[in-house]
Amino acid sequence: MVRSTRSIRKVSFLFLVFCTAFALLLPFQASAKAIKPGKFTFAQDHLKVKENAETITITVRRISGKDGEVSVDYCNCSYSAAAGIDFIHVSGTLVFRDGETEKSFTVPIIDDKIKESKEAFLIRLKNPTGGATLDPHYSDYVEIIDND
Protein backbone atom coordinates (compact mmCIF):
# COMPACT_ATOMS: atom_id res chain seq x y z
CA MET A 1 0.00 0.00 0.00
CA VAL A 2 2.87 2.39 0.73
CA ARG A 3 4.29 1.81 -2.72
CA SER A 4 1.07 2.72 -4.49
CA THR A 5 0.71 5.93 -2.47
CA ARG A 6 4.23 6.96 -3.53
CA SER A 7 3.39 6.12 -7.13
CA ILE A 8 0.25 8.25 -6.97
CA ARG A 9 2.20 11.12 -5.44
CA LYS A 10 4.87 10.81 -8.11
CA VAL A 11 2.31 10.76 -10.93
CA SER A 12 0.44 13.69 -9.34
CA PHE A 13 3.69 15.65 -9.01
CA LEU A 14 4.66 14.96 -12.62
CA PHE A 15 1.18 15.93 -13.81
CA LEU A 16 1.38 19.19 -11.84
CA VAL A 17 4.83 19.97 -13.30
CA PHE A 18 3.58 19.25 -16.84
CA CYS A 19 0.48 21.44 -16.41
CA THR A 20 2.53 24.31 -14.96
CA ALA A 21 5.08 24.12 -17.79
CA PHE A 22 2.29 24.00 -20.39
CA ALA A 23 0.52 27.00 -18.84
CA LEU A 24 3.76 29.01 -18.78
CA LEU A 25 4.75 28.17 -22.36
CA LEU A 26 1.32 28.57 -23.96
CA PRO A 27 1.48 32.41 -24.22
CA PHE A 28 4.83 32.16 -26.02
CA GLN A 29 3.44 29.70 -28.55
CA ALA A 30 0.36 31.86 -29.13
CA SER A 31 2.40 35.01 -29.71
CA ALA A 32 4.76 33.22 -32.08
CA LYS A 33 1.78 32.21 -34.23
CA ALA A 34 -0.03 35.57 -34.12
CA ILE A 35 -1.34 36.47 -37.56
CA LYS A 36 -1.11 40.11 -38.61
CA PRO A 37 -3.25 40.68 -41.69
CA GLY A 38 -2.59 44.44 -41.60
CA LYS A 39 -4.63 47.50 -42.43
CA PHE A 40 -5.27 49.40 -45.66
CA THR A 41 -4.34 52.98 -46.45
CA PHE A 42 -3.59 55.16 -49.46
CA ALA A 43 0.09 55.56 -50.31
CA GLN A 44 -0.20 59.33 -50.87
CA ASP A 45 -2.29 62.12 -49.41
CA HIS A 46 -4.35 64.52 -51.52
CA LEU A 47 -3.36 63.51 -55.02
CA LYS A 48 -3.32 65.94 -57.93
CA VAL A 49 -3.65 65.15 -61.62
CA LYS A 50 -3.60 67.34 -64.71
CA GLU A 51 -6.80 67.22 -66.69
CA ASN A 52 -4.95 66.11 -69.84
CA ALA A 53 -3.08 63.27 -68.07
CA GLU A 54 -5.69 60.70 -69.25
CA THR A 55 -5.37 58.57 -66.08
CA ILE A 56 -4.20 58.61 -62.49
CA THR A 57 -2.89 55.55 -60.70
CA ILE A 58 -3.84 55.29 -57.04
CA THR A 59 -1.75 53.03 -54.82
CA VAL A 60 -3.14 51.22 -51.79
CA ARG A 61 -0.77 49.95 -49.12
CA ARG A 62 -1.16 47.17 -46.61
CA ILE A 63 0.61 48.30 -43.44
CA SER A 64 1.17 46.88 -39.94
CA GLY A 65 1.08 43.30 -41.18
CA LYS A 66 1.13 41.15 -44.32
CA ASP A 67 -0.07 37.72 -43.22
CA GLY A 68 -2.65 35.78 -45.16
CA GLU A 69 -4.82 36.65 -48.13
CA VAL A 70 -6.93 39.77 -47.62
CA SER A 71 -8.90 42.11 -49.82
CA VAL A 72 -10.40 45.58 -49.84
CA ASP A 73 -12.98 47.26 -52.07
CA TYR A 74 -12.32 50.66 -53.64
CA CYS A 75 -14.47 53.23 -55.38
CA ASN A 76 -14.52 56.86 -56.41
CA CYS A 77 -17.37 59.33 -56.53
CA SER A 78 -18.16 62.90 -57.47
CA TYR A 79 -17.26 65.80 -55.25
CA SER A 80 -16.82 69.04 -57.18
CA ALA A 81 -15.81 67.05 -60.29
CA ALA A 82 -18.57 65.11 -62.04
CA ALA A 83 -18.35 61.42 -62.90
CA GLY A 84 -18.73 60.92 -66.64
CA ILE A 85 -17.73 64.52 -67.37
CA ASP A 86 -14.42 65.02 -65.55
CA PHE A 87 -13.46 61.44 -64.64
CA ILE A 88 -14.79 57.91 -65.05
CA HIS A 89 -16.35 56.21 -62.04
CA VAL A 90 -14.46 53.03 -61.08
CA SER A 91 -14.92 50.45 -58.37
CA GLY A 92 -13.52 47.02 -57.67
CA THR A 93 -11.66 44.78 -55.27
CA LEU A 94 -7.94 44.58 -54.63
CA VAL A 95 -6.75 41.14 -53.48
CA PHE A 96 -3.50 40.97 -51.54
CA ARG A 97 -1.89 37.53 -51.39
CA ASP A 98 0.12 36.49 -48.34
CA GLY A 99 3.13 38.82 -48.09
CA GLU A 100 1.88 41.41 -50.63
CA THR A 101 1.83 45.00 -49.40
CA GLU A 102 0.94 47.20 -52.38
CA LYS A 103 -1.70 47.24 -55.13
CA SER A 104 -2.97 49.94 -57.47
CA PHE A 105 -6.04 50.92 -59.46
CA THR A 106 -6.42 53.46 -62.26
CA VAL A 107 -9.01 56.19 -62.73
CA PRO A 108 -9.48 57.60 -66.27
CA ILE A 109 -9.51 61.41 -66.43
CA ILE A 110 -11.58 63.25 -69.07
CA ASP A 111 -10.08 66.34 -70.70
CA ASP A 112 -13.23 68.33 -71.45
CA LYS A 113 -11.63 71.44 -73.05
CA ILE A 114 -13.69 73.73 -70.82
CA LYS A 115 -12.08 76.43 -68.68
CA GLU A 116 -12.80 75.45 -65.08
CA SER A 117 -11.69 76.09 -61.54
CA LYS A 118 -10.16 73.33 -59.43
CA GLU A 119 -12.27 70.19 -59.21
CA ALA A 120 -11.94 67.05 -57.13
CA PHE A 121 -13.38 63.58 -56.74
CA LEU A 122 -13.35 61.29 -53.73
CA ILE A 123 -11.61 57.93 -53.43
CA ARG A 124 -12.53 55.45 -50.74
CA LEU A 125 -11.56 52.05 -49.37
CA LYS A 126 -14.19 49.84 -47.72
CA ASN A 127 -15.14 46.27 -46.78
CA PRO A 128 -11.75 44.81 -45.77
CA THR A 129 -11.67 41.00 -45.48
CA GLY A 130 -9.41 38.32 -43.99
CA GLY A 131 -9.04 40.08 -40.64
CA ALA A 132 -7.53 43.24 -42.17
CA THR A 133 -8.86 46.65 -41.15
CA LEU A 134 -8.96 50.18 -42.52
CA ASP A 135 -6.40 52.78 -41.52
CA PRO A 136 -7.89 56.20 -40.62
CA HIS A 137 -6.64 57.33 -44.06
CA TYR A 138 -9.21 55.17 -45.93
CA SER A 139 -10.80 58.12 -47.75
CA ASP A 140 -9.20 60.99 -49.66
CA TYR A 141 -9.69 63.24 -52.65
CA VAL A 142 -7.99 63.68 -56.00
CA GLU A 143 -7.73 67.22 -57.36
CA ILE A 144 -8.04 67.70 -61.13
CA ILE A 145 -5.98 70.67 -62.34
CA ASP A 146 -7.49 72.36 -65.38
CA ASN A 147 -5.26 72.74 -68.44
CA ASP A 148 -7.54 75.02 -70.51
* pLDDT at 13 exceeding the cut of 90: no
Q: What is the pLDDT of residue 18?
A: 57
Residue with the larger pLDDT of the pair 92 and 116: 92
Q: What is the pLDDT of residue 4?
A: 58
CA–CA dist 42, 125 (Å, integer): 9
* pLDDT at 1 exceeding the cut of 60: no
Q: What is the pLDDT of residue 81?
A: 96
* pLDDT at 27 exceeding the cut of 90: no
Q: Residue 53 class from Cβ within 10 Å (0-12 exposed, 13-18 middle, 19+ buried)?
A: middle
Amino acid at 80: S
